[in-house]
Structure 1
Amino acid sequence: MAMGEADLNKERLELALEAAGLDLWENDLITGNVTRKATKTFEELGFSEDEIVSGVQDIYGLFHPDDIDTVRKAVADHLTGVTPQYRCEFRLRSKSGEWVWFANYGRIMDGHGETRGKRLIGVTFNIHDRKCRETEIAQINQQLTEQNRLLQQLNASLEQLAANDSLTGLSNRRTLMELGAKEYKRTERFGHPLSLLVADIDLFKTVNDLYGHLAGDRVICAVAQVCAARKRSGVDIVARFGGEEFVIVLPETDGPSALQVAESLRREVETLLVCVGDEGQEVAVTVSIGVATLHKGSGMDFEELVNRADKALYRAKESGRNTVHCVDAHPAPARVHVLPNPGEAPGGVVAA
């Protein structure tokens, strides 16, 4: 009767293993012999029963070279008590030469008290489909990561294109008005001065008419570089306002200091000689500049400050070009600085 019960339990075990897709194996830790081979695993790899018995003796000969050390360490860790179970995933070479993913789970049996057992029993099961899915998912995730990185770069490029003038690389008009409005709020909050320059290239239409629009673009870029070079990094805003007109926003800068900046800029542009032709033709360049300063409590917003500086620019143009004109945007009644006499040579600061 006892023998019958043992046979029944064995059948039950075989059924459970078969249903779960598990292949039972057993090693004698004393003799080192394999007392039960993972026969189903070898058959799944394409080996016949005779080949399993006669040819497939060294299981390590079937392991993928990259997995052997991992398997040996997992076995050693369990045999030395580092891990409570032996667990490992690895690839085995099939008879046709393909690599198939399997996993092992096992532990030492027959231990009593502190005495280590003499048998290592475990199961092997196929995980190839799962690993293929994991690999596929990993590849998809890698592709998504790369696509996201490229998308972020593209978005950053698009944001820069949207914020900057395509010809000069300076901030464009929209960006100027947005950043300028923020500086205006800071000025109102802390009571610090905010100055603004509007510079316009003198007689620019003549350059276009004589040398063409490509030459005009070269002149615009040359003046833009001079304006950008004077920028205090992280403080000032330099923008192309449109056509041949530029705006420089100078936070924490009062009227006299802004006039100095404007006059220095005017003189530097005055020294420019811009190549405008394939034969080396050069043209001299000058700018007229309008200056306005905003103080806390002036009652004006940033757009009005730009308009005041623009009006000052036209006064500078009317005075003979290549000059600087200033309008003080102080809460006191606005003062327009005196223009030079008609007989005076152009150039210099128009000051009160």
Structure 2
Amino acid sequence: MGDEADLNRERLELVLEAAGLDLWENDLVSGQVTHKATKTFLELGFTEDEIVSGVQDIFGLFHPGDLDRVQQAVADHVAGITPQYRAEFRLRSKAGEWIWFANYGRIMDRSSATPGKRLIGVTFNIHDRKQKEDEIAQINHQLVEQNKLLQELNAALELLAAHDALTGLANRRALMQMGANECKRTERFDHPLSLMVVDIDLFKTVNDAWGHLAGDRMICAVAQACAARKRSGVDIVARFGGEEFVIVLPETDGVSALRVAESLRNEVAATSVPVNDEGTCLSVTVSIGVATMRKGSGLGFEELVNRADKALYRAKERGRNAVYCADVPQGSVSAVHMLVGSGEDRSGALLT
């Protein structure tokens, strides 16, 4: 019988050794380690003599950040909360390095006369696995950071692609896309859609006389005045090109758009723009063309812009610093012609 038991123990030790497992056993009543995890201590760099004489308490080798978690796992199993004891932890090697190990154990005699006395388990090295997990975690963290950076860059690129670099207003490309959508909304909900084309008067003379920096400052001043008229989340203000701007006014009829245009014209005319660092200021005026569409007009956004642009040239022809509203045929809907400005010919007619 003894020979059979010894043979089974040798078989068990061979299986454990082949699997890289180190058998241990604790007496929970006395607190003694009845079978020490010798192989683990050897892996940590301790000699057999040191294991016998100097390394008695393996808990003294635990990483401070892991000890409470391991002791809690043991307590949970002893209390019957968990069906087995499992824990992962770091042990300090003789050379001072932290090596990852794992424990798996179970109380083997819960139903015996002295229940809960023998806690038997195995310890095995998981350092390579943990290193790979750490590497994967670091890679995933880097991927998250890179994706975050990529999203920020994409957002910045989208912003750059949709906005004019000098003024910060929407650019022509974004205007055409958003304007086309507003035309669709007009057709769907039967709301009027008005559009203003704003052009700085005699801008070339400013560039020629004062340089492009002065011209840029004048463009920015007019852009700011246009943006100040914008209803947040409703209107669209864009730099159409050079010294020309477009303002899209959804749910705005021609008469209301004319009022907005005239108010803007007056505000710009009252503006004094500093064109150099010495404090030299220039006055500036704009001419504005206005066009309006309603459901059923058959106009696309590009055609609406062209009508407003033609109205702008009518305003320029009348002496500049003026507002002109184009005639938009709309069947039974009234069309508006109006000219207001600082030129001598300020007459206009409301045609019905």
Instruction: Give the structure-1-normalised TM-score.
Output: 0.95
SS at match of 1:160: helix
2:306 matches 1:337: no
Residues 1:338 and 1:168: Cα distance change in structure 2 (over 3 Å): closer
**Map of 1:224 onto structure 2:** 223
Give the 3 Å change call, closer, same or farther, for CA 289–119 of structure 1 in structure 2.
same
**How far 1:335 moved relative to its partner?**
5.2
Letter in 1 for 2:309: D
Please list every run of 5 or more consecutive structure 1 residues that lacks an aligned counterpart in the other structure. none
What number of residue pairs does the alignment pair up?
A: 349
- Quick one: distance in 2 between partners of 1:124 and 1:303? 76
Q: Answer whether contact 1:271 1:284 (CA < 8 A) is retained.
A: yes
Q: Is the 8 A contact 2:286 2:321 kept in 1?
A: yes
Query: Any residues of structure 2 matched to 1:76-91 within 5 Å, and which?
Result: 76-91=75-90
Output the amino acid matched with 2:174: T
Aligned-residue offset at 1:336: 6.7
- 1:338 deviates by 5.7
Residue 268 of structure 1 and its aligned partner are, at CA, apart by 0.9
Q: Distance in 1 between matches of 2:232 and 2:113?
A: 73
CA deviations over 1:156-204 (Å, ceiling 9, x no partner): 0000100111111111111101000000011011111000000000110
Quote the Cα distance in structure 2 between the aligned partners of 1:350 and 1:74. Answer: 90
For 2:59, the equivalent position in structure 1 comes to 60
Task: Give, in angstroms, the shift of residue 56 of structure 1.
Answer: 0.6
CA distance in 1, matches of 2:73, 2:345: 86
Cα distance in 1, alignment partners of residues 80 and 20 from structure 2: 28
* Secondary structure at 1:103 match in 2: strand
Which residue identity lines up with residue 193 of structure 1 in the other structure? P
Aligned residue runs from structure 1 range 75-114, under 5 A:
75-112=74-111
Shift of 1:83: 0.9
Instruction: Tell me which amino acid in the other structure corresponds to 2:343.
Output: A
Identify unmatched segments of 5+ residues in structure 2: none
- Tell me what 2:275 maps to: 276
Shift of 1:237: 0.5
SS in 2 for 1:47: coil
Distance in 2 (CA, whole Å) between partners of 1:28 and 1:338 is: 102
Q: 1:152 matched to which residue of 2?
A: 151
Q: 1:332 to 1:293 in 2, by over 3 A?
A: same
* Distance in 2 separating the partners of 1:219 and 1:163: 22
- Judged with a 3 Å threshold, the aligned counterparts in structure 2 of structure 1 residues 192 and 336 are, in CA distance, closer, same or farther, namely closer
- Give the 3 Å change call, closer, same or farther, for CA 79–159 of structure 1 in structure 2: same
1:275-302 deviation digits (Å, cap 9, x = unpaired): 1112110000110000000011111111
Distance in structure 2 (CA, Å) of the matches to 1:117 and 1:22: 23
Aligned equivalent of 2:179: 180
- Distance verdict in 2 for CA 1:228–1:115, change over 3 Å: farther
Task: Report how far residue 229 of structure 1 moved.
Answer: 1.1
- Cα distance in 1 for partners of 2:296, 2:289 equals 22
CA distance in 1, matches of 2:338, 2:148: 57
Structure 2 CA distance, aligned partners of 1:100 and 1:259? 79
Residues 109-136 of structure 1: per-residue CA shift (max 9 Å, x gap): 1222797331000000000000000001
- Corresponding letter in the other structure for 2:93: S
For the 8 Å contact 1:321–1:347, the answer to whether it is kept is no
Kept in 1: contact 2:339–2:346 (CA 8 A): no
Spell out the pairing of 1:311-326 with structure 2 (5 A cutoff): 311-326=310-325
Q: Please tell me whether the aligned partners of residues 21 and 125 of structure 1 are also in contact (alpha carbons under 8 angstroms).
A: yes
**What pairs with 1:1-352 in structure 2 (closer than 5 Å)?**
2-112=1-111, 116-332=115-331, 337=337, 339=339, 345=343, 350-352=348-350
The amino acid across from 2:85 in the alignment is Y
Q: CA separation of 1:350/1:108 partners in 2, compared to 1, >3 Å: closer, same or farther?
A: farther
**Structure 1 43/266 Cα, relative in aligned 2: closer, same or farther at 3 Å?**
same
CA distance in 2, matches of 1:247, 1:61: 76
The answer to whether the Cα contact below 8 Å between 1:325 and 1:349 also exists between their aligned partners in 2 is: no
Q: Say if 1:255 and 1:328, in contact at 8 Å, map to a contact too.
A: no
Structure 1 contact 163–172 (Cα < 8 Å) conserved: yes
Compute the displacement of 1:346 (Å).
5.2
Query: Relative to structure 1, is the Cα distance of residues 206 and 37 closer, same or farther in structure 2, using a 3 angstrom cutoff?
Result: same
User: 3-state DSSP class of the match of 2:195?
Assistant: strand
Identity over aligned pairs, percent: 74
Give distance in 1, aligned partners of 2:344 and 2:108: 104
2:65 alignment partner, SS class: coil
Distance in 1 (CA, whole Å) between partners of 2:255 and 2:122 is 87
Q: TM-score under structure 2 normalisation?
A: 0.95
Q: CA RMSD in A?
A: 1.8
How far, CA to CA, are the matches of 1:141 and 1:290 in structure 2? 56
Q: Secondary structure at the match of 1:309?
A: helix
